[in-house]
A and B are shown apart, each in its own frame.
Chain A
Amino acid sequence: MHKIILKKQLSADVYMLKVYAPLIAEERSPGQFIILQLDSDFGERIPLTIADADTEQGTITLIFQVVGKTTTRLAALNEGDAIANLVGPLGKPTHIEKFGHVVCVGGGIGVAPLHPIVQGMKKAGNRLTVIMGARNKELLILEDEMRALADELILCTDDGSYGRKGLVTAPLKELCEQTPPPDLAVAIGPPIMMKFCAETTRPYHVHTVVSLNTIMVDGTGMCGGCRVTVGDETKFVCVDGPEFDGHLVDFDNMMQRLKSYKTQEQEAPHPCKLNQQIENMNR
């Protein structure tokens, strides 16, 4: 059992939890995730990125958006409650070294998984430009944390309620047009955003790392449910990833696979924010 030490609401449907998990806190690296399950018999196993960890407290930080059944139940838990099953850290850690100028792009909830990567890249001595996007001001998360790490922070909202009005791809393109262009781009967010970020950097040959959020079951390479097409190969996100070369990922196939259970989950009697999520993806 993993006790919830701290709970905070970051925006309308985004929550932050600090959970007691000392072994995972000790072993985790940026880019890795956990899988949790709220009930051993009938609960679903869902992956969430380790947004931060505190080895002294023995806690890990999870930041999640309420999109369906399990995230709704998770959001209803309070400090002092416990999560029945938590396994990790899973996935390959982010490849971190001194690249030079790194642009990190986070969209919506994708800012959460981006955070530990930005921390790592900073530590390795990179110059960091962070671009964060959300539909509106209320939905922007971790602004202060990112401001503290970034050499330059660019905020975008779809409706112009804060920062620049428009999509994250606009400032990304401007950065690519500079000479020299950035040495590396990291983009994490809705698949459609990652796809367009990759398309933006492609003509400039800026290597672009994306972190994929496929459907998962075990997270250890056993089921193949998380598979994606990368280049000509099939890869398992949980063990070969979650990060891949964005210029090689078949995002269209991935987006279709994410909707595998769409109708089935819509039929289920729970407050599903699916439509909103699809809207997000397709904006």
Chain B
Amino acid sequence: MSAHDTPQQIQHDAAEGLEQILHRKEPLKPKERMAIPMQKMPTQDPQIRRDNMQEVAMGYFPEQAKLESMRCLQCKTAPCVKGCPVGIDIPGFLAAAAEGDFQRSIGIIKQSSLLPQVCGRVCPQETQCQEHCTVGKSLKDVNQAVSIGRVERYVADWEREHGVQAPSVKAPTGKRVAVVGSGPASITVAADVRREGHEVTMFEAFHKPGGVLLYGIPEFRLPKAIVQKEVESLQAMGVEIKTNFVIGRTRKLLDLMKKDGYDAIFIGTGAGLPKFMNIEGENLVGVFSANEYLTRSNLMRAYDRERADTPIFKSKKVAVLGGGNVAMDSARTAVRLGADEVHLVYRRTEVEMPARVEEVAHAKEEGVIFHILENAKRIQGNEYGLVTGMECVRYELGEPDASGRRRPVEIPNSEFMIEVDTVIVAIGNESNPLIRQTTPGLDVNKWGNITVNDDGKTSLPGVFAGGDIVLGAATVILAMGEGRRAAASINQMLSTN
């Protein structure tokens, strides 16, 4: 583990580097661009951040944003754009940022993405845009690619700090659209549909809008104030938000059309049904789904033990099962809630971990203990039903499976116990059945995800869907992209009848 670079040091280095370049008259040659060191993200010191909920990655300094943008070679074919699910003009916004024209830069991003402050922070860039970057390829390390996401975040934050105007809204059309859920897919649909002058009502089951951005992804990775701003900007456009409203219970989906007169519906209810492993001891006291643990901490603010009424388990030794972002978020939340030891148990190796590389690195810096090629077999409890330990078994990598990943196989007789009082299960989410159970005629696939055509249309007329409820647990940017597509077809439908 390398020593922590202080933000001051990082800024100092960047300022010096930029100074040298700005003295030059001729444009930078590709070789020179490649020689600019990749800009590190300034972060809170791991020793300090273990005890607070504030954002870990503090964002680039302006000098860094410019320098990092200068690393872009402006490739004619722009392979990076193909890796971005919404096809942002990446060389375009980087060129503007390199010139220091952050206003133009964010304008270019916003033509394709509605949530750059969020995506710049949480996109798995190393498997999307940055995976294809020529710079990373030439340096033979994807982690040396142009830090597209960090620059995206910088210019988006810059815009927020300099005041964003609410997008203009066309004259009222008299058409009404119901948007179910308030995650990134729904936020996108609400904005895109409202812009065309249609009335939009958003229905959210929880008492606050934002979806996973609010209750799942922790403050230390995505400040809630950012999500709040996105929601406020919807309200400024005239979107009505009804919280505490469960579609399928408070109102049946199709009653929104039949009884309440909505002309179209978008379903963006996410993948909110936690999977468990079906092993012995899973219902003992101290075993939680990541959803429960994170919701208690994030939405219900249980981390603020002084003020919050919602309790959260006080743990000494925690095991988290899984290797995705949800697992990292749970482990790092447990660290912040004061656990002495946090173990992360994952069946495959670090290469296969679906979590963002940065989150894995941050988790390690914060002292999370990684157990790779291990899996839980059984959870042990005492006479009060409290967790006392977890039996694990070791794995090795066997033949590649259909997905091309080498399949982990159990090593016989390799069982061993670890002593823990808390187990957090973060092995994924399935789709919530509430709407499909209460909506006859709505087609779903064998995993319970709503099936849609290329325009985001479901099997029911006037009903559209997108995001995790269609894709299965996916990403923010994919949810946003699906939202855009569905909004376009809703607008199309409403303009022709």
Contact = CB atoms under 8 A, between A and B. Distances in A.
Contacts of A123: none
Interface stretch (B108-116, B171-179, B307-315): B307-315
A256 B385 contact: yes
B309 A41 contact: no
B311 A224 contact: no
Interface string B244-287: 11100111000000000000000000001110101000111110
A84 B283 CA distance: 32
A87 B310 contact: no
Contact of A45 (B273, B300, B314): B300
Contacts of B246: 87-88, 90, 220
A46 to B, nearest CB: 9
Interface in A19-68: 23-24, 27, 37, 39-45
Contacts of B433: 221, 239
B283 A223 contact: no
A222 B272 contact: yes
Contact of B310 (A45, A89, A227, A250): A45
Contacts of A227: 283
B295 A253 contact: no
Interface in A57-112: 69-70, 84-90
Nearest to A250: B283
B198 to A, nearest CB: 23
Contact of A260 (B245, B251, B307, B313): B313
Interface in B114-135: none
B296 interface: yes
B283 A229 contact: yes
A130 B146 CA distance: 73
Nearest to B309: A44
Most chain B CB within a 10 A radius of its CB, from A42, A223, A259: A223
Chain A interface size range: 35 or more
A261 B309 CA distance: 12
Interface stretch (B49-57, B148-156, B200-208): B200-208
A45 B243 CA distance: 14
Given A27-B249, A90-B249, A224-B289, A218 B283 contact: no
Contact of A218 (B206, B309, B385): B206
B384 A85 contact: no
B244 A222 contact: no
Contacts of B309: 39, 42-44, 69-70
Given A218-B205, A220-B434, A222-B432, A44 B310 contact: yes
A84 B206 CA distance: 12
Given A27-B249, A85-B207, A224-B276, A42 B434 contact: no
B428 to A, nearest CB: 13
Nearest to A36: B244
Given A223-B289, A257-B283, A40 B250 contact: no
A138 interface: no
Interface string A222-241: 11110111000010000100
Nearest to A228: B283
A86 B274 contact: no
Interface of A: 23-24, 27, 37, 39-45, 69-70, 84-90, 217-218, 220-225, 227-229, 234, 239, 250, 252-253, 256-257, 259-261, 264-265, 268
Interface of B: 205-208, 243-246, 249-251, 272-274, 276, 278, 282-286, 288-289, 291-292, 295-296, 300-301, 304, 307-311, 313-314, 384-386, 432-434
12 contacts: A24-B250, A44-B308, A45-B207, A45-B310, A85-B243, A87-B246, A89-B249, A218-B205, A220-B432, A223-B295, A225-B288, A234-B283
